[in-house]
Amino acid sequence: QSLRIAHGYPAQSIIGATYDHFAEYVEANSDIEAEVFALTLLDLRQASPGLTSGVADVSMVLTPYFQNEFSEANFPADLSMAANIDGRPTSIAAAMAGAMMEYIIFNCPDCLMQIAAQNQVYLATAPGTQFSLLCREPLASKADVEGKVLRSSTNTFRRWTEAMGATASSISGNEMYDGLNQGLIDCTVNAVGEMSNFSLFDVVKGITLAVPGGTFGGTGIGHFNLGYWADLSVEQREMMARGMAETAAFMSTAYVRQAQTDLAKAREMGIEVLEPDASLAEATAAFTRADVATIVQLYTEQYGVQDAQAKAETFQALLAKWKGLTDPLDPTDQAALAELLWTEVLGKVDYETYGFN
Amino acid sequence: MKTVFAVTNRLLALAMIVAGVAVVLMMLHVSLDVVTRPFLARPLPGTTLIVSDYYMVACAFLPLAYAQAVDGHISMDAAAHLAPPRAQYHMAGFALLIAVVVFALLTWTATHDALTKFRINSFSIEFGTRIPTWPSYFLLPAGCALMTLISALRLLEYALGRLAPPK
Amino acid sequence: MTNIEIGLTGVAILFALVAMRVPIAFSLIAVSFAGLWIVGGERAAWGTLSLVPYTFAATWTMSSIPMFLMMGYVCFAAGLTAGLFRFARLWTSALPGGLAIASIFGAAGFAAVAGSSVACSAAMGRIAIPEMTKYGYDARLATGALAVAGTLGALIPPSILMILYGMIAQVSIGQLFLGGAVVGLVTALGYAVLIVIRVSLDPSLAPRVEEAVTWRMRFAAFRDVAPIAGLIAVIFGGLFGGFFTPTEAGALGATLSTVIALARRSLSWSAFVDAIRETLMTTATLFIIGCGAALLIRFLALSGTGVFLTEAVTGFGADPVMIILGVALIYLVLGMFLEPIGAMLLTLPIVLPIVGDAGWSLVWFGVFLTKLLEIGMVTPPVGMNVFVIKGVVGDLIPLSGIFRGIVWFLVVDLIIGALLVLFPAIVTFLPALIG
Ligand code: NA
Ligand code: NA
């Protein structure tokens, strides 16, 4: 038996290491031979259709790339800024991972139906760290941000950008360096770890931490082809799930470590690292609270999500629960997070039937 | 036979006109987006999406058949021109056979995809504006189907011994 | 058969099909689809075939390719290019082999609005070769100079090759453009020096043009190049000055060249339609090869052949200079037979990790690679630029004669290649300075 893993990132990246980790886990705990294809088999936009058609057995589906196919799972992913209501979590990656997985698997039959409609089975999500402002100059207050041009890659961040009196730009990821370098954009809204991924150290002079905040919650690292899943024995499915708990924890903590390394390097290079001042923090908090209603309305009207208000409340309750569970942990403690994801979510699943109803 | 060629030529011209309009619109649309940027608070909605999903797909795949009709697809001449003329004639026929097979496969699978996108009414939301994406998926099978048709007609000419020698 | 054997067999069949004049794109798709079916099964084959073409073309960054192509074709159709040659001719009239040098610098100017080397050879060749023939230039020198002058088209920005490389290697296209501009100008200078030396040693190669050129004429010629110089200034000024991105520069360049041509009343409707038709033909034929190459990459990956080939290359040793020499040798050999975009798309997934791990900057490598691939454009047996020039000159000189005229220029190219390896800063200093 074999397992074909494909992802659209370089082999040396965190996501590359994440899937290498999963492949090692599978080979160590079963007779299945796992092979990882980095970049060569599926790119980011091909991941979901590639799983549907069986080009790969496992891949990472960035669900927001497929707005209508995965609208039910994208809905809680879009609510990630709400994790900062009532205080920033120790690790937004850990809190969101747990909340997303528990929500999709146990609280959202609509999510599972959409995923099954794509001929897929869902096991895990591994979000990154807080979105921050990576800028050409240090910005601390709301007045600093006003009138600036910010690269905002999601609709939520575009709304925030406009609420702050700035202009949203949608230039692509590989134009980010040129855009910052030439002053076409003043900041890009990204996780701090993208500093090294996109080699931005030469063009960024100021980092404003955790505004707008939130994270990319649509990183479905554990999407399987349904036919492949059906051919596995119940023990093998359980092994895969256990491996996915390990893998999601590996990736989330690796992002935290990368953010720490990048921040240290930035400070060393004389890049100013700031907390938002009261004006910017309060404006962002006010936006975040109001935006929950906007997102509910958007998903109801544009994507036809049913009972969106109730779903939002369910998800926010789960976020609060997971903040409680993960806040006491060291954000780089992979084993502890893996254990939580297993005992609270994946360990409770019935692998005889999961994926088939 | 003559009618078939006449109809095909019309279709070729139509495909080139649509692709030509797409390339000119792409040029104007992106330029407008850049030029108005200093004056508008937000970019024109959906520029990136319309450029990549509509204009690009149109100008990449609709002209395929025209290129085939004028023998414009890039091939390597180095070894082939050493062969005797008779062999070269058969090689041209063989290349057409490969073209028919390849583009029939592409037409088949792309049509299937386009119908799926149509069924789920695929769309995208940019800056709150809902932009349907499914129609663009029909451009690919359209271009490939026309390419298959042209290649098949030329293969028929080959079988009848009437294929013009390569340039 | 093992999967790797299937992969290698597939590559062999691919070469056989290409040698039989099956278009490259069709050969790539046919071999890859069959190979994916055998190695990965029916679902993988159909799945990949349905995923690749749409996602390959429907990309924002790729849109700069038709746009830069269009800018070049419109400039040519509107006669903006002819002024460049006339200008260069007046300013180089005092030098030995002045017309040949003029065509090199004319091509360098046209390269700044054209995205590919074939376009550059074709445009300059049509203008300059008849002139040189008229003045009794050696046919080998004339055609050789034009074939190599074309290679500046891909080195001096904009460059289709560099855009594709930047997409795949995830490096800044702006930085590639800056590095390419330097190497392109160094190459042009190198060619010019070579022409001066050769014509000085053997004046019969290029009889002196008996024509009274006054300074007044020289300065008056600025009017001929003003529109195209203005276009270049706006595009690159805006690009490096931060008003728009490389992708947007393409569309603006195409629009501006059309507007300039219309304002000068030098663009007829039929010439405009021709420019669009050329743009569409080139775009479609390039993109379908790109789709085929993307399919082949997947076949090589799934069969394990890609890894096998990588390990074969890295087996030669770990010294960065040795690795880069090995890579250069591979591209020089591939360049003899393959069309550059196909060669690049085919090999980058294997080569990039090797080069990166050896510590070379990927921006530097992008420029170096472009130089290598452009050398392949003028080497036998398959040299696209040479074929284009042959198409322009007709029966003036046999194909082999043009290839012989290129030999001396190849020496210059190899010296420049060696300099790039010895002094990588030639490429990287400008991007670092501005960046
Ligand atoms: Na160029
Ligand atoms: Na060659």
pLDDT tens digits, residue range C68-127?
888 888 888 888 878 888 888 888 888 888 889 999 998 898 888 888 887 788 888 888
pLDDT (average), residues C323-342: 82
pTM for the predicted model, two decimal places = 0.83
Question: What's the domain count of chain B?
Answer: 1
Count CB neighbours of A148 within 10 A.
20
How far is residue C126 from each of residues A131, C79, C130, C221, C389, measured CA to CA in Å? Answer: 55, 12, 7, 20, 8
Burial of residue A268 (number of CB atoms within 10 Å: 0-12, 13-18, 19+): exposed
pLDDT value at C391 more than 80:
no
C-alpha to C-alpha distance for B28 and B21, rounded to whole angstroms: 11
Of C63, C248, C273, the CB nearest to B55: C63
Q: Chain C residues with CB inside 8 Å of A181's CB?
A: 172, 174, 242, 434-435
- Section C337-345 average pLDDT: 72
Q: Is the pLDDT of residue B167 over 60?
A: no
**ipTM of predicted complex:** 0.84
Q: Which of A330, A315, A331, A326 is nearest to A252 (CA)?
A: A331
CA of A202 to the centre of ligand 1 (A): 27
Can you give the pLDDT at residue C304? 85
Q: Which amino acid belongs to residue B100?
A: V
pLDDT of residue B80 exceeding 90, the answer is: no
Q: Phi and psi at residue A319, in whole multiples of 5°?
A: -60, -45
For residue B134, tell me if it sits in a domain: yes
Mean pLDDT of A173-193: 85
Mean pLDDT of B26-37: 90
Residues A160 and A155: their CA atoms lie apart, in Å, by 9
What's the pLDDT band for B165 if we cut at 50, 70, 90? low
Residue B114 with chain A: CB contacts under 8 Å: none
Q: Structural domain of residue B146, as residue ranges?
A: 2-159
Position C346 scores a pLDDT of 65
Which of A37, A41, A205 is most worth mutating to test chain C (most C CB atoms within 10 A of its CB)? A41
Average pLDDT over chain A, rounded to an integer = 93
- Residue C308's pLDDT is 80
In a domain, B129, yes or no: yes
**String of DSSP letters for A215-226:** --TTEEEEEEEH
Q: Which residue has the higher pLDDT, A340 or C342?
A: A340
> Taking 90 as the threshold, does the pLDDT of residue A302 lie above it?
no
Report DSSP letters for C7-46, one per residue.
HHHHHHHHHHHHHTT--HHHHHHHHHHHHHHHHH-HHHHH
**What percent of chain B shows pLDDT beyond 70?**
93
Dihedral pair phi/psi, residue C85, rounded to 5°:
-65, -45
Q: Is residue B164 part of a domain?
A: no
Tell me the chain B residues in contact with residue C30 when contact means C-beta distances shorter than 8 Å. Answer: 98, 101-102
- Asked if A155 and B121 come within 8 Å (Cβ–Cβ), the reply is no
Residue B166 has pLDDT above 60, yes or no: no
**A175·C51 Cβ contact <8 A:** no
Measured at the CA of B23, the angle between CA B22 and CA B26, to 5 degrees, comes to 85
CA-CA distance, C113 to C157, in Å (whole number)? Answer: 8
Asked if C105 and C151 count as a contact pair (C-beta separation under 8 A), the reply is: no
Confidence of residue C433 (pLDDT cuts 50, 70, 90): low
Partner residue opposite B74 with nearest CB, options C251, C255, C339: C339
Rounded CA separation B2/C426 (Å):
61
pLDDT at A319: 96
| Mean pLDDT score, B114-125 | 83
The structure tokens listed for A304 are: 């036809």
Residue A346 has pLDDT above 90, yes or no: yes
Token pair of B78 as six digits:
């180095």
pLDDT at B42: 61
Q: How far is CA B85 from the centre of its chain?
A: 31
- Judged by CB atoms closer than 8 Å, whether chains meet at A43 and C170 is answered as no
Report strand pairing: A187-191 vs A131-135.
antiparallel
> Taking Cα atoms as reference points, which of A181, A193, A199, A205 lies closest to residue A130?
A193
Beta strands, E only, C137-188: none
Residue A61 confidence (pLDDT):
95
pLDDT > 90 fraction of chain B, expressed in percent and rounded: 58
Chain C residues with at least one Cβ partner in A under 8 Å: 40-41, 43-44, 46-48, 50-52, 55, 60-61, 166-167, 170-175, 240-247, 297-298, 300-302, 306, 349, 353, 434-435
List the one residue out of C191, C212, C228, C218 whose CA is nearest residue C76: C228
Q: Is residue B165 part of a domain?
A: no
Q: What is the enclosing helix (H) or strand (E) of B45?
A: none
Query: Among the listed ranges A126-135, A283-292, C327-336, which one has the minimum average pLDDT value?
Result: C327-336
Evaluate if residue C220 carries a pLDDT over 80.
yes
- Residues A152, A161 contacting (CB under 8 angstroms): yes
Residue C316: predicted pLDDT? 66
* Cα Dmax for chain A: 60
* Residue A205: predicted pLDDT: 95
Separation of alpha carbons A331 and A263, rounded Å: 15
